[in-house]
Each structure stands twice: as C-alpha cells, then as structure tokens.
Structure 1
Amino acid sequence: MTYTWQREGWQPFFIRAVVDIDRDFHKITGTMRDESLSFYIQRLVKHPRHHDLLSQRSLAQLKDTSHTTYQLSVLLFGGMPLTVEAFVLLADAREARVQRLNTQKKPAAAGQAKALSVPVDTAKAFSPLLTEHDEACIRMVEMTHELHVLGYQKIRIFPYLSPSSCHWRLAWAPAECFVSPNSPPRGAGGRLVARYTSASGWAPFGWEGVQDLSAHDLAQQFIRQFPELARAGQGQDWPYAGWLSSLLGEVRNGRFPCLFSNGEIELSRGFPMSRGGPFPLPPALPATQTSDD
C-alpha cells in the first residue's frame, strides 16, 4: 500500500543536524532511505514562542526535484506545513536567493493589482488548544518518533481507548508481536510489550520528573527500561517510520487515533480519530514477518 505523499515523490527525512552557515543559510544533514544527505536552505526566521522551528525533532519529508535540488517539507508544532527549496551546493542556494530578491524588487506592471498584506496571528497559528493531559500523550508519540530516529523502526504502536472510553492508551511492541498492522500486540508474556495510559499523565511506566525531558531523553530511558523490546525492535522499516511521522503531525494538532481493544471497529476508511476524519492505516508488516506468537 502506498500513500498519496509517497506517490507524489515525498520520502521521510530524518534530520541529524542543523548548522547555521551564516546569517542567510542553514546546512541540514540527515538520512533518507538509509542514505546520508546534506543540503542548504535559506535561514528560517525564528518564531518568538518556538525557537527550534528546525531541529532533530522536526517531522520532515524530502522530495528530489533534480540532481542538485530538493523540496524540504517540515510540519511545525501547530500542524502548519512549511516547504522550502533545498540545494546540494551552497553556491546554488546563494544564487537562488539573489534571484528571489531581484524579483521582489521589480515594480508591478501597469494596472497590476498590488498583493494585500494580511496580518496573521502567529501565536494562535502555532498553538492548538491542548491540555496538559494531551501534551503528555503527545510526548509519548514523539518519543516513538525518536526511537525510530535512533534506529528502532521495528517498534510499532497500538493506540486504543480504555473500556470506559475515559482514557487514551498506547502499547509499544516489535513488529513480530503483531498478527496484522491493526491488531493489538501479542506474545512473549508481556516482556516485549510496554503500555501507557493517559491516567498516568506525566508518570509513564512509573517514571517521575519527566515533564521537562525531551522526547530524545525519554526514548533513551525507554530503551534502558525495556531492553528486550528495544533489541527486538531494532532495524529499519522506513514505510512505517514515515507513517508514524505523519501521524505525529496529526497528534501534535490534538487529533488522537482511537481504537478499542475489545470489540471490532470499522477500519475501511482508516483509523478513527478523536476528531475530524480518519487517518490512513499503518503499512503492512515487514515481508519476513510471521504471525506466530
């Protein structure tokens, strides 16, 4: 199964580093389909409330437009997409910037209407209405994204609701524990399955004082606490990692996947979400995957 973004040529891009070259350009290095890449983009203006518009935590996709240029799409915290040109050569990036500046300086043709400047409330644009309860759940999905960045892409999630529908729950397990992409994980007596409930808030897995930890720090702590799960989840599954990156964009905007662990649900249109339309189902299990417990 392929998704629209894949058919349009986009691929998940995992950012490793963002370096300021000068006051005009960033150098981005990262990985796409297990290939290391580096390129240059025009420096982004920092938002006063969100200093790291572009970092290792960013959800990014890359589209190859020629041998020397790409399109880089980054999903900002409030669900707002940002797409910029990226260049393999710094000289090409500088030339493109000069051309843009020259174009902006050209006077409008006679009779041509001048574009209106519409003020945007950027504080609202970057701030979906999220509660502390939501933010703890978001951090759990962000942690999963970080696990994938660290090379544990075979770790999958199963999001569902408690029987009372009062609490959102999340289970982590390696792909080998799933009979199908949409079923709860099974097997190994629970040793390969970790679980979270929103009732725990900022105390997942019995941890304390994690509210100020980054998703990367949480991922490292997860690996230490669940070493067997981590070992079984180590390896590449780029289609699933890309799917989870897209899901995280929805979750960061307050849309949580809602499945029930007891009883069948309708999945013909995708994952039911806490609000809005459904989200595409996860990719198939790896070809070598078996359904044995």
Structure 2
Amino acid sequence: MDDRFYMTNRQKLLFMVEELHNRGFGKLRVIPSLSPSGVHWRCSFIDETKEHRCIASNWIYGYEKEKSGEEIKLTTQELADLFVKENFEFIEHCKGENEAYTKWYSSILAQLKKGELPYAFADWEMPKGIWRTSEGNDIKTLPGEEKYYF
C-alpha cells in the first residue's frame, strides 16, 4: 500500500474540479483548509453565491478504495462522472462560466507537485492573497478570494 494515498487521492479531487470546470461548471469554487490539529486536509466546494456547499473531502473519503487505504484508480473524468451523479443537486448550481477563476484554478494545479495540497486557511493562520501548500509553497490567489471562505 502506498503511504501517500491520502495526499494523492485528495490531489485527484482537485484535478477533478478542473474537469468539472471544463464541462461547464465554471461557478464551482474550491475552498481547501486544514483541520484544527493540522493533520487533516479539508475541502469544500461552493457555488459563487455561497448558498450551496458540498464537503468534498468527506465525499472522497466515502469512496471504497479510500476507506481501505488505497489510491483511487479512477481517472479525473471518471471521478467527475461519479461526483455529478452523486451530487447532482449541488453541481447544478455551479453551471456557468467564470473564466478568471477557472484560468487561475488551472494555473494553481500546474504549480503543484505530485501529492502537494494547497490550503486557504487553518485555525492558526489566515493568509491574505495566497494559498499555502503542504510543501511550504505560496500560491497567489485572485483578489478578494477570502470573501468565499466563510
């Protein structure tokens, strides 16, 4: 078993969002964070109105391979199919375009190393204008991105 399955599976979740953006769900936003202990990575998905939310890290944890401590072998396209099927009510609120966000989001994915996860905030810090990563890197966010966090 790969000890890094946790990081790999969660990074695959982030790449799944890029696939969803490409399918016309451009109003889907990602809010990654750390648990109070700093041990667990959390990720919520919201629509641009902030009225609809999905705790994506719980969703990926519910996947059978994840529960058994294995890397998820589904492609990002297959994960996107599954996500849409299981979260249809939520994802419908994310239809539409936001070119500035989806371009920025794709650029952050391009900056991540294998298994590296970003976070927007943690209980002990709320960086302004950046997401930090599990590798200690900083990724510049879009102006005003913090308004979507709470």
Superposition TM-score tier, normalisation by shorter sequence: 0.7 to 0.9
- Identity among equivalent positions (%) equals 25
Displacement of 1:208 in angstroms is 2.3
Q: Does 1:168 align with 2:41?
A: yes
Q: Does 1:282 align with 2:142?
A: yes
Separation (CA, whole Å) in 1 of partners of 2:125 and 2:6: 27
3-state DSSP of counterpart to 2:135: coil
Displacement of 1:263 in angstroms is 5.8
Kindly report the root-mean-square deviation, in angstroms, between the aligned alpha carbons of the 2 structures.
2.7
Tell me the residue number matched to 1:267: 128
Count of paired positions: 140
Q: Is the contact made by 2:45 and 2:53 (CA closer than 8 Å) also made in structure 1? A: yes
| 1:142 counterpart letter in structure 2 | F
Tell me the residue number matched to 2:12: 139
3-state DSSP of counterpart to 2:64: coil
Q: Is the contact made by 1:154 and 1:235 (CA closer than 8 Å) also made in structure 2? A: yes
Separation (CA, whole Å) in 2 of partners of 1:218 and 1:138: 12
1:238 to 1:133, Cα distance in 2 relative to 1, 3 A: same
Q: Is the contact made by 2:44 and 2:56 (CA closer than 8 Å) also made in structure 1? A: yes
Tell me the residue number matched to 1:151: 24
Q: TM-score, normalised by structure 2?
A: 0.79
| 2:116 counterpart letter in structure 1 | R
Displacement of 1:172 in angstroms is 0.6
Structure (1/2) with the larger strand percentage = 1
3-state DSSP of counterpart to 1:213: coil
3-state DSSP of counterpart to 2:7: helix
Q: Is the contact made by 1:146 and 1:216 (CA closer than 8 Å) also made in structure 2? A: yes
Q: Is the contact made by 1:240 and 1:283 (CA closer than 8 Å) also made in structure 2? A: no
Tell me the residue number matched to 2:104: 243
Q: Larger Rg: 1 or 2?
A: 1
Separation (CA, whole Å) in 1 of partners of 2:81 and 2:61: 14
User: Unpaired runs of 5+ in structure 1?
Assistant: 1-129, 178-186, 286-290
Comparing 271-280 with 247-256, which one deviates more in the overlay? Answer: 247-256
Structure (1/2) with the larger helix percentage = 2
Q: Is the contact made by 2:32 and 2:120 (CA closer than 8 Å) also made in structure 1? A: yes
Q: Is the contact made by 1:223 and 1:230 (CA closer than 8 Å) also made in structure 2? A: yes
1:175 to 1:263, Cα distance in 2 relative to 1, 3 A: farther
1:245 to 1:165, Cα distance in 2 relative to 1, 3 A: same
Tell me the residue number matched to 2:69: none
Q: Is the contact made by 2:30 and 2:44 (CA closer than 8 Å) also made in structure 1? A: yes
CA deviations 1:22-80 (Å, max 9, x no partner) are xxxxxxxxxxxxxxxxxxxxxxxxxxxxxxxxxxxxxxxxxxxxxxxxxxxxxxxxxxx
